[in-house]
Structure 1
Amino acid sequence: MIELTKTGIDGLDAILNGGIVTNSTTLVSGNPGAGKSILGLQYIYNGVEQFDEKGIYLSFEENESDLREAAESIGFDKWPEFVESGDIKVYDKQVLLRENDFSSSLELLLDDLEDDKYDRLVLDSLTMFELFFEDETEKRTYLLKFTDILNNNGLTSLLTNEQGAVFPDTDIGLENYLTDGNIYLIQTPTDTGVNRYVWVAKMRKQDIETDIYPMEISWGGIKVHENASAFSMMSEEDSPI
């Protein structure tokens, strides 16, 4: 029996057939504004609030205060409380980027990564993480080392990645091969705003729904809906799958 970690995100666990494989690393890709950081915040927040699972949030892009404001603005009101209690451990860009190389930053993290009280981790984002490295070989070496550390210490992790195109690129990057799953967040412009979609392209060790599903970002975070026609006609009171 494969153990699964529920994201707690409405509709997403349904298309994952129960959740993400525990002790795996999943890449979450999308173009700017697609909702990658919100998904990461929600995954960590839900872990504490719904499942009593503590989490680590690594941000190479935001300060801790910015993360708190982002969490509270979407309805994750207990975020400061969870950080204060240690249920959520935040390393922000001021901490992670003050070191000159990734080895130094990793030394800061190791005690918490090896602490079995934490179950979940988010790294936001690989785009900034990769600025540590001078070439592809060095990046591959350290990314493989880092994912091995996460898996060896029982963390179920999400790594966000910037996707330049609106739709997933056909040029598959190195990070896709080093992770156990790939989730794409897609947004397309319309006359009145944007339409948002989620596509779970790969999850090792489990059957998944590989269709593209509509999603929305509103108060309370991300919600994934069963099909496009239901999404377009759904009122705010209706429930996602």
Structure 2
Amino acid sequence: MVYTGPRRVKTFVSGLDEQIESGVPVGTVNIVSGTPGSMKSSFAYNLLYHNAHKIGLRGLYISMEQDVESIKAQMNRLGMAEKTNKLIVEDYESLEKKLATSEFQKIKFEHDWISRIRMYLESFDRDAVDLLVIDSLDALYALTDVENPRKELFHFFKTLRETETTCFLISEMTQNSDKFSKFGVEEFLCDGIIHLDFKRTGTILARLERYIGIIKLRNTNFSTQYFPLQHVEGRFKILTGEDLEL
């Protein structure tokens, strides 16, 4: 039988793509959610990095929190050294300078950062970017007076879909919360929710164990299990039941 489902983007987490029909559907808007320290940014950057190097997809990573050099240094330590021009990293400062140029005349006087990002993305050619990460939604909200979350985020997510890029929006969770986003409406608007979590094990020599679970992924049959997530020798991988039995 010929596969007629949506085209997909690999996560490049060993073992995970097999749990989600080989990857995330192309052109979808997905939330990557978790508490601080759960490796959300590293997971998202890993996806862009390996798709750029191995598949040739063009990625744009927009960080509203860390500067470009800090991000690159962090990812270099995780085995993702910069080697290609197909992955562009922008931070708040570099984006601010870019939006102040005459090319973005309509944007330069806009102070609402959700609107600024929308207008910036609308300026792209359709084939300019294949994959987009925004890190993070919470930082973006801190720069925006969100008076009507449902309305404003509806238009924001609509713009993201119209770019036809596959988007990953990082969202901060608080400990012991069951909300994957600040306002909650994001969880209905998005196509997928990827949850990264960790717990402390042991008593005397305690250590952290990280987990990853797929909460939502439209047009995809996916496992509802949470899998142990490891980063070993520059690669992310999950442990399945078979691995744990060995």
TM-score of Structure 1 vs Structure 2, range by shorter chain? 0.7 to 0.9
Displacement after TM superposition at 1:95 (Å): 3.4
Which residue is 1:183 aligned to? 194
Question: For 1:128 and 1:41, how far apart are their aligned partners in 2?
Answer: 17
1:212 paired to 2:226: yes
1:56 paired to 2:66: no
Task: Output one character per residue of 1:170-209: Cα deviation in whole Å (capped at 9) or x when no partner.
Answer: 9981111110011110100123311111110111111111
1:194 paired to 2:205: no
Unaligned runs of 5+ in 2: 98-109
Displacement after TM superposition at 1:161 (Å): 0.4
Displacement after TM superposition at 1:105 (Å): 4.4
Displacement after TM superposition at 1:165 (Å): 2.0
Aligned residues: 225
Question: For 1:170 and 1:73, how far apart are their aligned partners in 2?
Answer: 28
Displacement after TM superposition at 1:27 (Å): 0.6
Matches within 5 A, 1:22-37: 22-37=26-41
Which stretches of structure 1, 4 residues or longer, exceed 6 Å deviation after superposition? none
1:41 paired to 2:41: no
Question: For 2:95 and 2:139, how far apart are their aligned partners in 1?
Answer: 10
Question: For 2:96 and 2:174, how far apart are their aligned partners in 1?
Answer: 23
Question: For 1:160 and 1:57, how far apart are their aligned partners in 2?
Answer: 11
Which residue is 1:239 aligned to? none
Specify which of 148, 151, 170 is matched with residue 160 of structure 1.
170
Q: Which amino acid aligns with 1:190?
A: T
C-alpha change, 1:154 and 1:105, in structure 2 (3 Å) is closer
Which residue is 2:8 aligned to? 4
| Aligned-pair identity (%) | 25
Question: For 1:109 and 1:169, how far apart are their aligned partners in 2?
Answer: 27
C-alpha change, 1:51 and 1:115, in structure 2 (3 Å) is same
- Is the partner of 1:118 in helix, strand or coil? coil
After TM superposition, the structure 1 stretch with the greater mean CA deviation from structure 2, 119-128 or 168-177, is 168-177
- Is the partner of 1:217 in helix, strand or coil? strand
TM-score normalized by the length of structure 2? 0.82
- Is the partner of 2:123 in helix, strand or coil? helix
Q: Is the contact made by 1:17 and 1:209 (CA closer than 8 Å) also made in structure 2?
A: no
Question: For 1:220 and 1:39, how far apart are their aligned partners in 2?
Answer: 12
Task: Output one character per residue of 1:27-69: Cα deviation in whole Å (capped at 9) or x when no partner.
Answer: 1110000010001110110111121111111111110001110
Unaligned runs of 5+ in 1: 235-241
Q: Is the contact made by 1:183 and 1:198 (CA closer than 8 Å) also made in structure 2?
A: yes
Question: For 2:227 and 2:147, how far apart are their aligned partners in 1?
Answer: 33
Which residue is 2:133 aligned to? 122
Specify which of 99, 102, 116 is matched with residue 104 of structure 1.
116
- Is the partner of 2:13 in helix, strand or coil? coil
Question: For 1:142 and 1:66, how far apart are their aligned partners in 2?
Answer: 31
Q: Is the contact made by 2:146 and 2:152 (CA closer than 8 Å) also made in structure 1?
A: no
Question: For 2:71 and 2:153, how far apart are their aligned partners in 1?
Answer: 24
- Whose radius of gyration is greater, 1 or 2? 2
Question: For 1:125 and 1:97, how far apart are their aligned partners in 2?
Answer: 16
Displacement after TM superposition at 1:97 (Å): 6.3
TM-score normalized by the length of structure 1? 0.84
Task: Output one character per residue of 1:3-45: Cα deviation in whole Å (capped at 9) or x when no partner.
Answer: 2111222122111121001100111110000010001110110
Q: Could you say what the CA RMSD is over the residues aligned between the two structures, in angstroms?
A: 2.3
Q: Which amino acid aligns with 2:243?
A: A
